[in-house]
Amino acid sequence: MNTLLLSIILVPIIEIYLFIKIGSQIGAFNTISLILITAIIGVIYARYEGLNTLRSGFSQLVKNELPAYEIISGAAIAFAALLLIVPGFATDIIGFLLIFPLTRKLIFGKISSNLKKKHPERNHFIDGEFEDIEDDNDKKL
């Protein structure tokens, strides 16, 4: 079964289960308040981290370096903000894990090491030399 389809089905089921369990422990009003508070705090912190990532990316560009980590980090922060806006406890946990720089670096390191293990042969290059040869026809134009 496709993982996207599976996640579309499983995520709401997990969220509903957590709403019921947590709501029965702390009450409906407290559950709704907790969801709103995590959304507000998450979006504010996502904005803060997003601006930090943007500043870091600009400093990388000033140094004539490619801000690859900053680009991926910015996309992860945007996705985390989306997860924090969506009501739910499981999505909030994943969102907060993606927003914090330490856990984001750990997640990126794990994903990149898994990709390197799956595709070790991707770094094949053909090395060669070339020489420009001028034609007499090119000089006439």
Digits of tens for pLDDT over the chain (141 positions)? 688 888 889 999 999 999 999 999 999 999 999 999 998 998 898 899 989 999 998 998 899 888 888 888 888 999 998 999 888 999 999 999 998 889 988 988 888 887 777 766 655 667 778 777 776 665 555
Q: Is residue 56 part of a domain?
A: yes
44 inside domain:
yes
Instruction: Confirm whether 127 is domain-assigned.
Output: no
The whole domain housing 82 covers 16-109
Question: Euclidean distance between the first and final Cα of the chain, in Å?
Answer: 62
* Domain tally, the chain: 1
In a domain, 139, yes or no: no
Distance, in Å, from the CA atom of 47 to the CA atom of 99, rounded to the nearest integer, reads: 10
